[in-house]
Amino acid sequence: MEVTLGNSAELIAQAHAIRHQVFVVEQNIPQQLDLDGLDTEAVHVVVTDAGSLVATARLLQRDKSCAVMARIAVLKQYRGAGVAKRVINALLSHATKIGLTVIEIHAHAYLRDYYQHFGFHYVKDVEVVGEHPLIEMHYCLNH
């Protein structure tokens, strides 16, 4: 599997294709909630397997020390194979390289334990998107 990081138009289009399948088709989240107009400002990671799209996520910097990791999506047939871990670790590594100190995520509530294994800590319940309750979690980077 190949992990690519960047914000080219091609990479964003690949990210959109994965997110559409996962969020809109599978999770019934309205497309306008996913396409918030911030993708060109974010760094995206896209995972491919022999040219096939597999997974994506983005990191949107808020200020010089904080960013939001979001839009984490793995196509159904690749789940359970450690792909999300590669996506998250790629963005955490990038965040460290550019000097960020805090990463925020709004995760599905049922994934709380999963993100805690990476070192994220629960902050609060935030909202319900579609039928999915979300929680805010933070990760503190040590430099």
pLDDT of residue 48: 97
Q: Where are the domains of the chain?
A: 2-105
Which of the four pLDDT bands, split at 50, 70 and 90, describes residue 132?
A: confident
Select from 103, 18, 6, 29 the least CA-distant residue to 53.
Answer: 18
Fold assignment, 2-105: Aminopeptidase (3.40.630)
**Is the distance from CB of 68 to CB of 92 less than 8 angstroms?**
no
- Average pLDDT of the residues in 6-34: 93
Average pLDDT, the chain: 94
Burial of residue 96, with CB atoms counted within 10 A of its CB: 0-12 exposed, 13-18 middle, 19 or more buried = middle
